[in-house]
Structure 1
Amino acid sequence: MNKANNQPLTAQEQAELANLAAIPDEKIDYSDIPATTPEQWREAEQGRFYRPVKQQLTLRIDADVIAWYKSQGKGYQTRINELLRQAMQEEIKRM
């Protein structure tokens, strides 16, 4: 997915990414930016500043499902979103 416009990558974009991924590390020119060391990444946090854009929509979900999520306390919409994201990521891995 092209994150800039939420569109699938074109064949050309996929080919460019495949070509870049095929370049061995030894062939990458780090002369203008030296490679980082494992020590520099030791305390890094993945996704710390990433905040996906939210989109408001109307969604029909079975009443008993919503009642159960609401019974679990505040944040039920966030929990539903997290489960949907997990399902999406698992599906992407299988592709």
Structure 2
Amino acid sequence: MPDQPRRPRTQNDARSEAEAAFKKVTKKEPEAPPPKKLGLPGVKEQVSLRIDQDVLDHFREGGPGWQDRINDALRKAAGK
């Protein structure tokens, strides 16, 4: 039986072989969740917060310390 000529490789064959080889090498390990940040006691973190204007006015009416009063109200609402 005479040898049959080889079928020429197409670009798609080479691409699929390369992708299969790449996938074998680059399998992702499942990522561990990032470690939980431990906050220092008594240290405040700056955040951006949207508050209704009438609520903000209520706390600002008391003069300086309005941010601390908002913090105290939020702490009380959180049950801490």
Report the TM range for the smaller structure's normalisation.
0.3 to 0.5
**Highest relative contact order (Cα 8 Å, sep 6+), 1 or 2?**
2
Please state which structure has a larger fraction of its residues in helix.
Answer: 1
Larger Rg: 2
**TM-score, normalisation: structure 1:** 0.40
**TM-score, normalisation: structure 2:** 0.46
